[in-house]
């Protein structure tokens, strides 16, 4: 798995922090890692972007960003409004492939969800994943509504013959409600793919040293971690309704 594409069921689901956790776990396993942000929006030139945030949390990764647009919009819209060239899927694939010749693992982080448009032709992260023939990791929220967005994304991936590696819950609350607890059991069925991790809420606020030491505990062995889905589900899922 030299390239892994990371997408979310939407915005603010913990995609960047999950990318950082995957990077930290891979580094801890002795792998060299590069992180490619296809299109960064909503960040000024002097602000830290998502790829740089991954590097801050995870450690010594190669951080790359193909384009940056100031307004917090879909990349195609942000590029048009800024009067700048958009990022196209083939550019994402070419950049990731080049990084893969120099690193053991390349993490390609999208913007928002899978079908957010990069350019005026409707190019998306899914198109870049197809060009790369890379598996996709889906970051989902924990609470009510996540089953629908997870299943829709999983179906779209399969309709394009893309491999859904699994699902990671991007932010697991310290006091989960009933919907979140039930979703632990139901998410693998909605995705028809395994649950590969759950990050604690606020993980991105940890000190980098703590984040790096703890990240493998949040991810399954498939992602170089020691997290066990069965143990987590047994602990968090509610008992049957009586």
Asked if 198 contacts 172 with a C-beta cutoff of 8 angstroms, the reply is: yes
Q: Which residues contact 142 (CB under 8 A, 6 or more apart)?
A: 169, 170, 171, 172, 173, 176, 180, 183, 198
Clarify whether 37 is annotated catalytic.
Answer: yes
Catalytic residue from among 37, 88, 103, 212: 37
Return the DSSP state at 205: G
Per 3-state DSSP, what percentage of the chain is helix, strand, and coil (rounded to 5)? 45, 20, 35
Distance of CA 227 to the CA centre of its chain: 17
Return the DSSP state at 177: -
Virtual CA dihedral for 71, 107, 100, 26, nearest 10 degrees?
150
Residue 177: both structure tokens together: 């409600």
b/e burial code for range 19-45 (CB count within 10 A of at least 16 → b): bbbbbbbbbbeeeebbbbbbbbbebee
Residues serving a catalytic function are: 37
């Amino acid at each position: 798995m030299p390239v892994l594409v990371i997408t979310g069921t939407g915005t603010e689901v913990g995609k960047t922090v999950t990318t950082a956790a995957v990077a930290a776990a891979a580094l801890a396993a002795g792998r060299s890692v590069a992180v490619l942000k296809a299109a960064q929006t909503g960040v000024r030139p002097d602000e830290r972007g998502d790829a740089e945030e991954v590097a801050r949390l995870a450690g010594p990764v190669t951080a790359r960003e193909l384009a940056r647009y100031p307004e917090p919009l879909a990349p195609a819209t942000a590029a048009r409004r800024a009067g700048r060239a958009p990022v196209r899927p083939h550019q994402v694939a070419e950049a990731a492939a080049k990084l893969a010749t120099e690193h053991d693992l390349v993490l390609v982080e999208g913007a928002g969800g899978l079908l957010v448009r990069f350019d005026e032709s409707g190019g998306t992260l899914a198109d870049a994943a197809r060009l790369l023939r890379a598996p996709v990791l889906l970051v989902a929220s924990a609470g009510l509504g996540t089953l629908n967005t997870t299943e829709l994304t999983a179906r779209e991936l399969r309709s394009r013959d893309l491999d859904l590696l699994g699902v990671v819950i991007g932010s697991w609350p310290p006091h989960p409600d009933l919907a979140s607890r039930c979703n632990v059991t139901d998410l693998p069925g909605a995705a028809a793919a395994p649950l590969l991790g759950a990050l604690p809420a606020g993980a991105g606020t940890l000190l980098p040293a703590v984040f790096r030491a703890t990240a493998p505990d949040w991810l399954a062995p498939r992602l170089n971690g020691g997290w066990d889905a069965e143990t987590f589900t047994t602990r968090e899922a509610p008992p049957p309704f009586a």
